[in-house]
Amino acid sequence: MKQLKQIILYGLLLGGSALFLLPLIWMLSTALKPIEQTMSMPPTWMPYRLYAEWDGDDIPVVLGETVERPTDASEPWVLVRPESDPTAAWRPIQASTLTKRPAPRWMNFINAVKAMKHFGLYLKNTVILCVLTVVGTVLSSALAAYGFSRIDWRGRNKVFLIALATMMIPFPVVMVPLYCLYRSLGWIGTLRPLWVGSFFAGAFNVFLLRQFFMSIPKDLSDAARIDGCGEFRIFWQIIMPLCRPALMVVGLFQFMATWNDFLGPLIYLTDQKDFTLALGLQFFQSQHGGTEWNYLMAASTLVILPIIIIFFIAQKSFVEGISMTGLKG
Amino acid sequence: MTRGERHNLRTGLAFVSPWIIGFLTFTLYPVGVSLYYSLCDYDVLSTPIWVGALNYRDMLTDEIFWKSLRNTFYFAAFSLPLGMVVSLLTAILLNQSIKGRSLFRAIFFIPSLVPVVAGAMVWIWILNGNFGLLNHALRQLGITHPPQWLSDPAWTKPSLILMSLWGVGNTVVIYLAALQDVPRSLYESADIDGASSIRKLWNITIPLISPVIYFNLIMGIIGSLQVFAQPFVMLGGGGPNRSALFYAVYIYQNAFDYRLMGYACAMAWVLFLIVLLLTWIATRSTRHLIYYAGE
């Protein structure tokens, strides 16, 4: 009975994991295939190359038509020619003598980057935005969270309730007025609308950091105050270093949000050279979608990869941060 | 107010000032302006013209508005409960004493980190009617004519719901943290009483993590009614027969394709009211079911 339970448990976990991972594996597999293999029936997981004997050598070949051979009707014959020489004449060979060998096309990544034209600029814009928004969010949210947690001032809790309430407002409500505001400032078509706001503390991050700040004993600040330490110094030299894990979480979440943001760039950016990776990827798909699946998947892989690498580096912060949002909510 | 209190008020406000400035500029001002625009005819280029409640009245007869609302409710009505059940069950599985737990957790979590646009690309490919992985699998199972997921109006919304389940990892981690806080001793005493696994789930686990379930419900309502990027990227302007024209996508179209800024704002306000109403209903109807350890 106990064993049966274990088998079911691991079966479900393995099956579920497979379902969750397959889309990403399929993406990578497609990204490494030549175009004709992306649409082959039945699909193959491992990108391959065909090899055949050619003048005594075993070389990669391109497959041509199937041909009839009256001498041996049961065995299909196919036309092949060397991959390296497109001018060579096709030769018929027995299909069963062809061999498949795994051959991922890493060149697809380079070709996809070239096909996207401004990939380098997209990356640069995205990184600039990530750096600016992470710095802005961490600094401004920490300041505000400090003011909401470690200084007692009249009306503090009422103001904080207002801050919490703003989280309920759906973005579409402020979307048009913000667009008009940035337009009157002449900021449409620049990166500015996408980062300036981050220097003015969003409620969610303030809330997260406030929870953390409150868990630090009050005596610590009081002792420093008695020693004549100014409030900003207490914040900067005592509290901030103690809150490194929470600041990491906020920075990490902001990085992800900026990297992933689609609606913001879609609304505010007009010139292709200012696009972010997310918007650039969508732009590429709208132009080349439905044909060059291998390049589209290679480009998608490149957009996803940094996030996955960061996840493995900062796994602990991710999990702690997400648990924090749920538990304290 | 004593001197100390005044000093505290000044320093407090100084620290909070980034938020105050942000609140005034990026929340209060746009919210007010949005309400005003919603009562105007406005195309960005010329000055707004006051039209009273006309935009709101137009909505009543705008069939596309109703369609987008129905589509959005359809999506939310399936993706939210399904997502909550799948994520809770996954979390319970991951909370068993198993080998390689952190690896499994990472596997379930990673898809939720995938940037929406990139994830949409992957799913466009998987759901491709002819060469997509899903239809290959279905043909293997003997379904000779699997659905054209993204080009058949009947299947666009189920496609997006399926895809939304792929991203539940985030919620799984939240549930997992909550499950780890449930005291072991409760299960041990239940074991002594000979309670079955299902009883333990229903009478111990679910009540004890009910605040987190409630939290995920509210976040789910807010999120699923505003879903934008997936349908926008995968199905352009709403897909075949506008079958995947979601509310937020229609707001975007009104604002930036048709330049009907007033109408877009009015729609946004209706969305806000729907979110508030549903949150209120959810809060009212679950209040007596939620267990708070402190009380």
pLDDT confidence of B294, banded at 50, 70, 90?
low
CA distance B218 to B211: 11
**Structure confidence by residue, pLDDT tens digits, B140-193:** 999 989 999 999 999 999 999 999 999 999 899 999 989 988 888 999 899 898
pLDDT band of residue A290 (cuts 50, 70, 90) is low
User: What interhelical angle do A293-313 and A315-328 show, nearest 10?
Assistant: 80
Q: In 3D, which of A271, A285, A275 has the Cα closest to residue A126?
A: A275
- Characterize A262-282 residue by residue with b for buried, 16 or more Cβ atoms within 10 angstroms of its Cβ, and e for exposed: bbbbbbbbeeeebbbbbbbbb
SS3 state of residue B182: coil
* E strand or H helix at B222: helix B210-225
What's the rounded Cα separation, in Å, for the pair B240 and A7? 44
Q: Is the pLDDT of residue A328 over 50?
A: no
The Cβ of residue B268 has, within 10 Å, a number of other Cβ atoms equal to 30
B259 touches chain A (CB under 8 A): no
Chain A touched by B110 (CB under 8 Å): yes
Cβ separation A296–B121 shorter than 8 A: yes
pLDDT band at B4 (very low <50, low <70, confident <90, very high): confident
Smallest Cα distance from B132 to chain A, Å: 9
Question: What is the pLDDT, as a whole number, of residue A197?
Answer: 95
Exposed, middle or buried, B247 (CB in 10 Å: 0-12/13-18/19+)?
buried
Kindly state whether B212 is in contact with chain A, defined as any CB-CB distance less than 8 angstroms.
yes
Tell me the chain B residues in contact with residue A256 when contact means C-beta distances shorter than 8 Å: 113
B275 contact A CB<8A = yes
- Judge contact between B5 and A154, C-beta under 8 A: yes
Phi and psi angles of residue B18, each rounded to the nearest 5 degrees, phi first: -60, -40
Cβ atoms of B71 and B224 within 8 Å: the answer is no
Q: What is the pLDDT of residue A329?
A: 42
Chain A: residue whose CA lies nearest to B27: A174
Residues A256-274: pLDDT tens digits?
A: 999 999 999 999 999 999 9
CA distance A42 to chain B (A): 7
What average pLDDT is seen over chain B? Answer: 93
Average pLDDT score over residue span A285-299:
87
Inter-chain touch A170–B225, beta carbons under 8 Å: yes
Residue A122 reports pLDDT greater than 60: yes
Q: How far is A274 from chain B (nearest CA, A)?
A: 17
Query: What is the Cα B28 distance to its own chain's centre?
Result: 24
CB contact under 8 A, B115 and A322: no
Residue B47 DSSP label: P
* Per-residue pLDDT tens over the stretch A168-177: 999 999 999 9
For residue B289, the 8-state DSSP code is G
Rg (CA), chain B: 24
Which of A200, A259, A307, A309 should be substituted to probe chain B, the one whose Cβ sees the most B Cβ atoms within 10 Å? Answer: A200
The pLDDT score that the predictor gives to residue A233 is 93
C-alpha A65/C-alpha A91 separation (Å) is 10
Residue A72's pLDDT is 60
Cβ–Cβ of A262/B233 closer than 8 Å?
A: yes
Predicted local confidence at residue A61, as pLDDT:
87
Q: If you measure CA to CA, which chain B residue comes closest to A148?
A: B16
Q: Is the ipTM, as predicted for this complex, more than 0.90?
A: yes
The closest of A154, A222, A149 to B7, measured between CA atoms, is A154
How far is Cα A109 from Cα A298, in angstroms, rounded to an integer?
5
Three-state SS sequence of chain A:
CHHHHHHHHHHHHHHHHHHHHHHHHHHHHHHCCCHHHHCCCCCCCCCEEEEEEECCEEEEEEEEEEECCHHHCCCCEEEEEECCCCCCCCEEEEHHHCEEEECCCCHHHHHHHHHCCCHHHHHHHHHHHHHHHHHHHHHHHHHHHHHHHCCCCCCHHHHHHHHHHHHHCCHHHHHHHHHHHHHHCCCCCCCHHHHHHHHCCCHHHHHHHHHHHHCCCHHHHHHHHHCCCCHHHHHHHHHHHHCHHHHHHHHHHHHHHHHHCCHHHHHHCCCHHHCCHHHHHHHHHHHHCCCCHHHHHHHHHHHHHHHHHHHHHCHHHHHHHHHHHHHHC
At residue B1, the pLDDT reads 73
Which residues of chain B lie closer than 8 angstroms to A175, CB-CB? Answer: 251, 255, 264, 268
Cis peptide before A42 (omega within 30 of 0): yes
Distance of alpha carbon A255 from alpha carbon A265, whole angstroms: 15
| pLDDT tier, A293 (very low <50, low <70, confident <90, very high otherwise) | very high
Banded model confidence at residue A291, pLDDT cuts 50, 70, 90: confident
Q: In terms of CA atoms, which chain B residue is nearest residue A235? A: B15
What residue of A is the nearest CA neighbor of B236? Answer: A286
Statement: residue B251 has pLDDT above 80? yes
Over its C-alpha atoms, chain A yields an Rg (Å, rounded) of 29
Residue to mutate among A154, A166, A176, with most B CBs inside 10 A, is A176
Q: Which one, of B108, B92, B236, lies nearest residue A23 by Cα?
A: B108
Q: How far is A125 from chain B (nearest CA, A)?
A: 16
Distance CA B86, CA B233 (A): 25
CB contact under 8 A, B264 and A9: no
Residue among B13, B126, B232 whose CB faces A23 most closely = B126
Judged by CB atoms closer than 8 Å, whether chains meet at A177 and B108 is answered as no
A172 within 8 A of B271, measured Cβ to Cβ: yes
Residue contact A13–B256, C-beta within 8 A: no
Give residue A70's pLDDT: 62
Give the tens place of pLDDT for each residue, A144-157. 999 999 999 999 99
Tokens of A56: 């005594």
Q: What share of chain B is helix, strand, coil (3-state, %, to 5)?
A: 75, 0, 25
Q: What pLDDT, on a 0 to 100 scale, did the predictor assign at position B57? A: 97
Query: What is the Cβ-side half-sphere exposure of residue B14, based on CA atoms within 13 angstroms?
Result: 10
Sketch the domain layout of chain B as residue ranges.
Answer: 63-286
Fold assignment, B63-286: MetI-like fold (1.10.3720)
What pTM does this model have?
0.91
CA separation for the pair A85, B148 (Å, rounded):
40
Collect all residues of chain B within an 8 Å Cβ-Cβ radius of residue A159: 16
Any bridge partners for residue A49, and if so which? Answer: A101
> Tens digit of pLDDT for each residue in B86-143?
999 999 999 988 888 889 999 999 999 999 999 999 999 999 988 899 999 999 999 9
For residue A204, the one-letter residue type is F
Amino acid identity of A52?
A
| C-alpha closest to that of A49 among A40, A59, A57 | A59
Q: How confident is the model at residue A121 (pLDDT cuts 50, 70, 90)?
A: very high
| Antiparallel, parallel or unpaired: β A57-67 and A48-54 | antiparallel
- The 10 Å CB-count burial string (b at 16+, else e) for A130-165 is bebbbebbbbbbbbbbbbbbbbebeebeebbeebee
